[in-house]
Amino acid sequence: MSLRLGDIAPNFKANTSLGEIDFYEYLGDGWGILFSHPADFTPVCTTELGKTALLKDEFAKRNTKVLAVSVDPVDKHLSWINDINETQNCDVTFPIIADENRTVANLYDMIHPNASETFTVRSLFIIGPDKKIKLIITYPASTGRNFHEVLRVLDSLQLTAQYSVATPADWKDGEDVIVTAAVPTADIPARFPKGHKIIKPYLRTTPQPNK
């Protein structure tokens, strides 16, 4: 059965480029991003892992650990990491799972037979501190992911987990947000003292509360 938003992310133990890990122990009490790659030594994957490495400080600011998955073995990962660091001018310090038996790929439904019977698609899961799945994005193998969008969504997830707000289309960190319907209009001034606008009775905005 496919995983859905709100489901508990399955735990697993796996061998990685940094040794054996327990997924839950690796995440600790923070946020996590688990993302898959069709194979090592492929061009799009090389750029994706490089971009993730270059965004290391951005993920750290958000208390988020990243973890990649590929069906190739550890020795191949280690050799590939050298290529990634060289070509993308980065330093890959996060683990890459050696999922040779496709254990993780099957747990997270990363293999889509109509796309490929053997390789994972570009699945990405954001997992909250409660170990529940907060976001699922799936790209085809031919299209590299937009990791600035991943950061944008992570900002939204962390904000809306803390406050009774939602983020509008194309929202970026620092912009106005929407007050959820669960908050009566009369309660907005006390809940959101920075002010608010009533555009429609169902559409109320306020400055981002944690800025």
Q: Phi and psi for 133 in degrees, rounded to 5?
A: -80, 120
Classify burial at 75, counting beta carbons within 10 Å of its beta carbon; exposed 0-12, middle 13-18, buried 19 or more: exposed
What is the set of active-site residues?
Answer: 45
Query: What letters, b where the CB count within 10 A reaches 16 and e where it falls short, cover 10-48?
Result: eebebbbbbeebebeebbeeebbbbbbbbbbeeebbbeb
- Of the candidates 16, 34, 59, 36, the one whose C-alpha atom is nearest the C-alpha of residue 127 is 34
Dump strand ranges (E) for the chain: 13-16, 19-22, 31-36, 64-70, 96-98, 122-127, 133-139, 165-166, 177-179, 197-200, 203-206
